[in-house]
Structure 1
Amino acid sequence: MNALTTFDPRPAVPPAVGRVNGHIPAVLAADEPRSANTAAAAELDADLAKTVKRTSYMRQLFYVVVLLVALAGQVSGAVAALGIPLIWAIPAVGALELGGIVVLANADVRRRLGEKANASRILSAAIAAFAVAFNWMAHDNKLLAGFFAAMSALGYLVWLMHTENQRRDRLRAKGQLPPVTPAYELIGHWLRHPWQTLRAKNLAKANPDLGLYPSIAAAQAEKRREVRTAAIAKVLHRKIRAAVDPTTADIAVAVYDLDEIAVRLADGADYDGLTALIGAALTPDRLAAEQPPRKVQADVGTPLRDVLAIDGQIDSAIDSGADTDIANLSAPEPTAPSTARRLAHRQAHRQNRRQVRTATRRQVSAVDTDSGTDTDIDSQTDRKTDSGTDSSTANNTDSGTDRKPARKTATGTARRGGKAKHSPSAIANAAALRERYGNRLPAADNTIRTDMKWSHDRVRAARTAHHAKADINTDSTGA
């Protein structure tokens, strides 16, 4: 059983000064004198060599004991189950027990030569599995059978782990396997800064000289460099593209060393001037003189806003039925912050819509009263207002029934004798439209609704009064 030999995982070339097996120990991460680092590295190297040799002896002894126990189970099972003489059973089951190890050693040699050796590895595993199965089936006492089978499996697995450890050490010594990275903290590094820790781990793989915290510092510096390079490339590309074509700008950004530009920018930076510029803005006198800008409120007293405000007062006056001098109405004083004003505007909009409907009904009722007819104005006006369509109904005169007057239309007018009579709210709204758009209104009602924040019925009524120039006639009549 001299197959197990001591293997030193350190590379053939002596490690660099201050390194153990190609890595900087944790105790050498601090800034210490060169002599102290060298002495500590030499001590750790010597201790590592002793540990590797001692572990190799322990492993060999353990494997010999496991192999003897497994062979005892194999021999006793072969004699009891197969009836083979003891002198022949020992070499037979010995070949079975060691067959998996021999084939696995051959596969390890082929893998050192660069081959995968899949066939040898599969055959080795099959032989070991058969040895374990034979130990289990050859004994009637299943507790004893399980013990011998477990020892056979344990011996093969110990050998397999030792072979794989040797292979990884060889690959790492040749630079074909990444070095062992520092042990980063779970909460402080992985959970709080996962991407930064992953970047630090990759940097530690590429440069084994980086320890735990130097690799994190290198990751932070690399991230800052990426952000700085991206900003410089963006500005450089924009400046060059302003002078030449975009393709030339792309070539220039790809050719120029952006890190060198960053270095020269840092060397030529005027830190004194920048500090003075920022300090001048933070002087107490200037901070005390500067007040936060106040929000400028819109002038609610403009003629357009006055017309809109008076429109609501006219509707309220019509709704109450009181005698009100429309000429003496005035706009309310501007109040309230912007949020309260928006809420008040929405509420006034809904209230004004109801008032327009009520005022129109009363106008139509007044027309019907003057004509001496009796109609159900409320029910029919509600239906016409909700549907938003213009209609006028009349019964057949030949039937001898009374002729019903025209109903209220969606435009907010009542027709009698072919002449349209506009409500005061429609006239006020028409004046507002004329002040905003002049004599030519937008073709789409949605444009007026968006600009004026009016309902569909209100826009139609105002448009009709505008086309009829009811607001101009009213002004000229009043004059």
Structure 2
Amino acid sequence: MNLTATPGDGPLGRAAEHAAWIFYVIAALGSTIGQIWVGVQSAPWPDGLDWWWRALLVAPFAAVIDLGGVVTSAFADWRQRLGEGAYGWRVLSAGSVTIGVVINVLGHYDVPYLATVFGGLGIFAYAVWLMHSAARRRDALRAAGKLADTAPVYGLAQWWREPAVTRRARSLALAHRLALHESLDAARQQLRDERRRAALAAHVETLIRARHDDPVRADIAATTLDLDAVAAELSAQADVPGWAHVIGADLLPPPLPDTDADPDAERGAAGLPALAGPMPPADVLRRVPQDQASYDRWRHLWAELKADPDIEPAEFAQRHGISLRQVQLIRRTGISGLLDSPLTLIDRIAYLAGSNGHVAHQPTSAS
């Protein structure tokens, strides 16, 4: 099993890796130079010993301190790839680098700039090495199938807005290889189902306990049953379309209240048949067709509605290619009895006006 994969495929990944090595070498060299500087100035050397001899004698020890942190870190990385914690190697690595940083900071305490530069270079070199080796280790483990796939990046705004949903979405994405939006939708649905099932399970427990007068038996029954499974089974058996139909029927608009006037008496006095239902409002009457062809179509549609009163308005509208509003207008007009006559409303009004005028003039001619 190959665990020596290198991070990043393609030119960009190789360039980043080369840049990391360059930065590490420069930073480590700077840290080593700082330690040699401290050793040349601070160690109790003989007075006649030249500075370059001092530097030559200090350099191996300074290099060992920095290289010690790298070598022990490399051992730790190797053991971690094999699945071990490698805590001893990691502690030795951190301790070696800490010694080098402390030497640079304390040795140049009189010059804050040098203390910051050389101490910072040691920390920077070690940080680059740790992140670089960790990236290479993850790539090697991923190539060997020992590392889980990475989850989608959801962004800070999504984490802030829906932390619980995002945590669940991340788990679902890793478990089922879902994309970002698919995992969020699945997480929201799953959490909604869990909340509903928990509420239903609480009601089921209350119902089970209510069926037993003995509290001990009630506890046994409620504890024995898998309330979540009962809630899930109830959800599967629920008649959702039936409840939607019942609730939708309750949401239909109420009939218009009757007025003080008696419309049947008024229509009888005018020579028209009595109304079968309440008179539609003026906005409905204005929409009743005045041309004979459209009026006949309304009468035909009203005849079908009367023959099948239980048909859904939406289904009827789709069947005949009309709007739901038009179905409601036809129903309200037909219930009132205004579609019973073969004549349109305007023709009946003209007929009534002519008839009344004739009756009114008869007594005058007789006199």
Query: TM-score, structure 1 length as denominator?
Result: 0.41
2:23 is aligned to 62
**1:237-252 equivalence runs, <5 A:** 238=207, 242=211, 246=218, 247-248=220-221, 250-252=223-225
Does residue 1:220 correspond to 2:188, yes or no? yes
Match of 1:278 in 2: 247
Contact 2:148/2:174, CA 8 A, preserved across alignment: no
AA paired with 1:100?
A: G
Using the alignment, how far apart are the partners of 1:275 and 1:136 within structure 2? Answer: 76
Instruction: Count how many residue pairs are aligned between Structure 1 and Structure 2.
Output: 240
Long gaps (5+) in structure 1? 10-47, 290-479
What's the counterpart of residue 293 of structure 2?
Answer: none
Q: CA deviation at 1:62?
A: 1.6
1:136-165: per-residue Cα shift (whole Å, max 9, x none)? 455697234543333233212211222333
Q: Deviations over 1:255-279 (max 9, x none)?
A: 956545533x25xx372x5454334
Pair 1:7 & 2:2 matched:
no
State the Cα distance separating 1:103 from its structure 2 match: 1.6
The CA deviation at 1:104 is 1.8
CA contact (8 A) 1:241 1:249 kept: no
Which residue of structure 2 lines up, in the alignment, with residue 110 of structure 1?
A: 79
Q: Are positions 1:156 and 2:126 aligned together?
A: yes
Q: Of the candidates 179, 204, 220, which is equivalent to residue 211 of structure 1? A: 179
Q: 2: CA distance between counterparts of 1:144 and 1:276?
A: 81
Shift of 1:195: 3.7
Per the normalisation by structure 2, the TM-score is 0.52
- 1:8-407 superposed matches below 5 A: 8=7, 49-82=10-43, 83=45, 84-138=53-107, 142=111, 143-169=113-139, 179-184=150-155, 186=157, 189-207=158-176, 209-230=177-198, 232-233=200-201, 238=207, 242=211, 246=218, 247-248=220-221, 250-253=223-226, 256=229, 258-259=231-232, 261-263=234-236, 265=237, 269=239, 271=241, 273-286=242-255, 288=257
The 8 Å contact of residues 5 and 136 in structure 2, kept in 1 or not, is answered as no
Q: Quote the offset at 1:59 in angstroms.
A: 0.7
Give the letter for the 1:156 counterpart. Answer: Y
Aligned-pair identity (%): 31
Partner amino acid for 1:283?
Answer: L
**Matched residue, 1:473:** none
CA contact (8 A) 1:6 1:52 kept: no
- Which ranges in structure 2 are unaligned for 5 or more consecutive residues? 46-52, 259-367
Once the two structures are superposed, residues 278-299 of structure 1 have per-residue CA deviations (whole angstroms, 9 ceiling, x without a partner) of: 344333344758xxxxxxxxxx
Name the larger-Rg structure.
1
CA 1:76–1:262 in 2, change beyond 3 Å: closer, same or farther?
A: same
Identify if the C-alpha distance between structure 1 residues 191 and 76 changes in structure 2 by more than 3 Å, giving closer, same or farther.
closer
Q: Give CA-to-partner distance per residue, 1:172-223, whole Å, 9 cap, x none.
A: 675666834432452xx4555444344434434544x233322221122113
The structure that is helix-richer by fraction is: 2
Q: Distance in 2 between matches of 1:145 and 1:161?
A: 24
Are the structure 2 counterparts of residues 235 and 156 from structure 1 closer, same or farther at C-alpha, using a change threshold of 3 Å? closer
Q: Is the 8 A contact 1:204 1:215 kept in 2?
A: yes
Higher relative contact order (CA 8 A, sep 6+): 2
Change (3 A) 1:169 1:240: farther
Contact 2:36 2:58 in 1 (8 A): yes
Q: Give the secondary structure class of the aligned counterpart of 2:182.
A: helix
Is the 1:182–1:211 contact (alpha carbons within 8 Å) kept by the matching residues of 2? no
Whole-angstrom distance in 2 between the partners of 1:117 and 1:125: 13
**Structure 1 residues 97 and 281, CA gap change in structure 2 (3 angstroms):** closer
How far has the Cα of 1:253 moved from its partner? 3.4
Secondary structure at the counterpart of residue 226 of structure 2: helix
Go from structure 1 to structure 2 and tell me whether the alpha carbon gap of 1:175 and 1:220 turns closer, same or farther (over 3 Å shift): farther
Find the residue that maps to 2:7 and give its secondary structure. Answer: coil
Counterpart of 1:226 in structure 2: which amino acid? E
Work out the CA distance in 2 between the residues paired with 1:287 and 1:250. 54
